[in-house]
Amino acid sequence: MNQVPPPSLSIFRKRWRKFRSLKRGYYSFLAILAVYLVSFALPLLVSNLPLVVRYQGEYYFPKLRFQSPADFGLEAIGEPDYRKMKQQFAAEGEANWVLLPPYPYSPSESLLELEGVPPHPPSLEHPFGTDDRGRDVFARLAYGFNISMTFALLVLILSFTLGIAVGGLIGYFGGKLDILGQRFVEIWSSLPFLYTIMIVSSIVVPIYLPGRSQLVQPSFWLLIFIMSAFGWMGITYYIRGEFYREKAKDYVGAAIAMGASDWTIMFKHILPNAINPVVSFAPFAIVGNIGALVALDFLGFGLPAPTPSWGELIGQGMSFLSKWWLVFFPLAALFLTLLFIVLIGEAIREAFDPKEFSRLR
């Protein structure tokens, strides 16, 4: 009886199966992915603005529209204190109520009602304590994770896209374009990154728009642009070498004989076979981008205050060395995040090792 041969697996599925077998990297990937996805729901989980307020038979949604204290029969200026209002409504025992997020503190809210002088030590209400302005450290760390990961991923996409384009062009066409392209990359890579950031920071005034997401902050995108402009050179050399190697193979010659255009050969035929360095170096580039953002925020050249930032919290820890929570918790969050990403990178590098899985086998 003839046995049906098992279906052949694509090279991607083989590599994905190998990646899943590396438990440390795979579980780290699931953990980072889950926490990052949850971080986009932080306005619903960690915030001082309630989800819903019911007052005198009407429903209010402060997250969608600003509500003055007069709307709830309060005599105050500015934004209502919804935590006190919830306690007041609960004590009155009426039909009015306030539905607050599970962690009802904002990363930019100064908790002036706390006793003593900030920074306040960890407590049941504030398990990570407060910073030097009375802001909750846990809330700032949570929002800082989302900002750091989003920043690192956007810089990775922009810088690698530019690096792949430049490396592919000079590697495929070669000749004078290769010589001039390499000289340009060498000159550009010699520019001092930190001095450029300092000059730009002294000319451009950082802008912070209260109540707006970091994705629409001008300073956020300006920093991404500068980081991308200085982060594309490294991957260019690898892509250039891969294109030089691949364009000499028979399948490229066959594509040329069939009349395929240069762009089709570059991005449809060669690039899928030259993508291994990009995938292998991507996690480590994310580590570098997060570290760069933390360092810039620590030095005061990063995102404008009061943006939640790990680097800014670490800087406070250096100013308040006796306040251990300002040193331990930001460094612990940074350490665990970078550790998980490095484990992911090691697993990806092993799974995409051309010695184990190759399209030519």
Give me the pLDDT at residue 1, please: 47
Q: Are residues 81 and 174 in the same domain?
A: no
Tell me the C-alpha distance between 8 and 10, whole Å: 7
**Is residue 95 domain-shared with residue 142, that is, in the same domain?**
no
Task: Tell me how many degrees the CA angle 173-175-181 measures, rounded to the nearest 5.
Answer: 80
Mark whether 163 and 87 lie in a shared domain: no
296 falls within a domain: yes
Q: Please give the order of strands across the beta sheet that includes 58-60.
A: 58-60, 52-55, 97-99
Nearest to 166 by CA among 231, 211, 114: 231
**Is 198 contained in some domain?**
yes
Same domain, 67 and 208: no
Same domain, 63 and 172: no
Give the pLDDT confidence of 266-288 residue by residue, as tens digits: 988 898 888 888 888 999 999 99
pLDDT score of 291: 92
| Same domain membership, residue 319 and residue 212 | yes
Q: Can you give the pTM of this predicted structure?
A: 0.89
Domain total in the chain: 2
Residue-wise pLDDT for 194-204, tens only, equals: 788 777 766 76
- 27 assigned to some structural domain: no
Residue spans of the chain under pLDDT 70: 1-9, 201-202, 204-218, 354-361
Q: Which residues contact 298 (CB under 8 A, 6 or more apart)?
A: 311, 312, 314, 315
Same domain, 218 and 296: yes
Q: Which of 99, 126, 159 lies at the terminal end of a domain, its last residue?
A: 99
Is residue 197 one of the residues assigned to a domain? yes
Last residue of a domain, one of 74, 99, 124: 99
Same domain? For 155 and 94 the reply is no
- Same domain for 209 and 326? yes
The domain in which residue 298 lies consists of 137-351
pLDDT of residue 129: 93
Asked whether residue 21 is assigned to any structural domain, the reply reads no
199 in a domain, yes or no? Answer: yes
For residue 188, the domain's CATH number is 1.10.3720.10
Question: Are 95 and 161 members of one domain?
Answer: no
pLDDT value of position 360: 46
Instruction: Please classify residue 35 by burial: count the beta carbons closer than 10 Å to its beta carbon, then call 0-12 exposed, 13-18 middle and 19+ buried.
Output: middle
Query: What is residue 358's predicted lDDT score, i.e. its pLDDT?
Result: 54
Whether 203 and 144 share a structural domain: yes
Residue 358 lies in a domain: no
Say yes or no: 82 and 170 in one domain: no
Decide if 160 is inside a domain.
Answer: yes
Per-residue three-class SS string for the chain: CCCCCCCCCCHHHHHHHHHHHCHHHHHHHHHHHHHHHHHCCHHHHECCCCCEEEECCEEECCCCCCCCHHHHCCCCCCCCCHHHHHHHHHHHCCCCEEECCCECCCCCCCCCCCCCCCCCCCCCCCCCCECCCCCEHHHHHHHHHHHHHHHHHHHHHHHHHHHHHHHHHHHHHCHHHHHHHHHHHHHHHCCCHHHHHHHHHHHCCCCCCCCCCHHHCHHHHHHHHHHHHCCCHHHHHHHHHHHHHHCCCHHHHHHHHCCCCHHHHHHHHHHHHCCHHHHHHHHHHHHHHHHHHHHHHHHCCCCCCCCCCHHHHHHHHHHCCCCCHHHHHHHHHHHHHHHHHHHHHHHHHHHCCCCCCCCCC
